[in-house]
Structures are given as structure tokens and as C-alpha cells.
Amino acid sequence: MKLLRSFCMALTMYSRLPAPRVAWREENMAYAMCFFPVIGGVIGLLMFLLLALGELLSLGRTLMAAFLTVLPLAVTGGIHMDGFCDVADARASHAPREKKLEIMKDPHAGAFAVIACGAYLLVNFGLWHEVPLSGSSMRVLALSPVLSRGLSALAVVSFRGARRDGLLATFRSASDVRVVRIVSGLWITAAACVMLWRAPLAGGAAVVAAGASFLHYRIMAYREFGGATGDLAGYFVQVCELAVLGAVMLAERIGGLL
């Protein structure tokens, strides 16, 4: 039952997927991060269903790119994009560390958050318009949400926290650190191995891009904020998935020239 409650906690916190509501207690959060990548798996499955529907209805490439851009936001309710926008506001302020942390807690969106969100969605849409929507590359991209969430879960229990309170601090203190690290490592390894197996060039590019995003997350979070926060975790998920999408697109272009 504890595993089931943690599973439901992960779904209700980080997605709009239907799940029974469970009490907000630490015991129910112990293994929640272990199930975080499951939401990525659902997003990947929905990508294939969306592409199948698009082919059935003969939908154009532009409309499909728009749907694929919006799909993760619809599944997650935009929780990670909210973190991305808060971090964009804080970083653009060039303020001292303490002020940046205050800016991220402000529920109001600043001008830089709006600009960053618009730029992100525009680039994401453009990349989906350029990348092949079939074959091995699409299989790699369907695993991208799993890989990003596996890495994010690992960071939750491994990175130093910037604050003693907040959502990330709550989940970190309640998590069974050893189990979450092991399970997250298994998710990361499985996703990376399947990516490399299905498409060595595109999969390799995706794994490198995800690793580079993770390193950027760690360095930036420690240098600018003193550690990780829930908003920074959301920022990482968004940046990682965009980086993987761009890497796969470039790998396909390079592969076509070889």
C-alpha cells in the first residue's frame, strides 16, 4: 500500500493524470520520486497515439508539431514550465542569491518569464517541425520525458537544497534516499540503453544532450542559487527535453550527410 500511495502521490503532484487522492503525509512521499519517470512514459505513449491519430486524419506537419509542443504541458498541467518561468525571472534579475530565491517564490510572472516561455515554445515547435516524426528518432524522443524525469528524481535526493522549505525540500526529506537513487539509476540506464539500441546516432546525441543539461543544472543551481529548488527541478526538465529534441534533430541532419 505504501508503494501505491507513493505512486498516486507522484501522479497527482506532477501530472493531471487521473489518480486517487492520498493524504499529504511524509510516509506517502517515501517512494514518490521512483514513479516520477512513469509520467514521462505516459507522455511518450501519448506521442505515438497522437501521431497515429494525425496519420489517420491526414493532419499537416505544422499542426502535429503544435500538438506535440502542447502535449507535455497538457499532461503535467504546466508545473515544470512554471518552474522554468520562475527561474528565468530570477536569473534575468542578476540580483544577489537571496533576492533570486525570493523572486522564484513570487507567484506573479514577470516580463522575462513571459519572454522565456514564448521563446521556449517557439523553439520547441520549430524543432518538432524539423525532426522526423517516424522511425527510430521518434522512439528516442518518446523516451526523452522518461530520461529527464529519471535524472530529475536523482537530483532531488542527491543535490544540495537551496532552501530548507519548499516542495523539493519536502520530497527530499521524506524520500527513502537509497531506494530513490537506485530506482532512478535504473530508469536512467534503461532509457539511455534503449535510445542507443534503437538509434545509435540519434540516441547517442540524446544521451549526451541530457547529460550536458544535467551538468548545467548542477553547476548553475549551486553557483547562482546555492543548491536546487522545486522551480529549478522544473527548469531542468524543460531544458533537458528541449536539448534532447535539438540534439536528435541535429543528429538526423548529420546522419543524412554521411
Task: Give the per-residue pLDDT at 38.
Answer: 96
Q: Rounded to an integer, what distance in angstroms lies between the CA atom of residue 219 and that of residue 216?
A: 5
pLDDT of residue 172: 72
Give the length of the chain. Answer: 258
CA pair distance 182, 27, nearest whole angstrom: 19
Query: Cα 30–31–33 angle (5° rounding)?
Result: 115
Straight-line distance from the first to the last Cα atom of the chain, in angstroms, rounded to the nearest whole number: 53
Structural domain count of the chain: 1
> Could you tell me if 15 and 42 are in contact, meaning their C-beta atoms sit under 8 angstroms apart?
yes
**Which three three-digit cell numbers place residue 70?**
502542447
Split the chain (258 residues) into runs of 10 and give each run's mean pLDDT: 82 88 76 92 97 94 96 96 95 90 84 94 97 90 97 93 74 80 96 95 97 97 93 96 97 83
What is the distance between the alpha carbons of residues 246 and 240, in angstroms, rounded to a whole number?
10
Scan for cell 537509497, then name that residue: 178
Q: How many Å apart are CA 137 and CA 155, to the nearest integer?
A: 27
Within 10 Å of residue 181's Cβ, how many Cβ atoms?
Answer: 18
**87 in Cβ contact with 232 (< 8 Å):** yes
Whole-number pLDDT of residue 166: 67
Identify the three-state secondary structure at position 228: strand
The pLDDT score that the predictor gives to residue 26 is: 73
Structural domain that includes position 199: 2-257
Beta bridge partners of 56: none
pTM of the model: 0.95
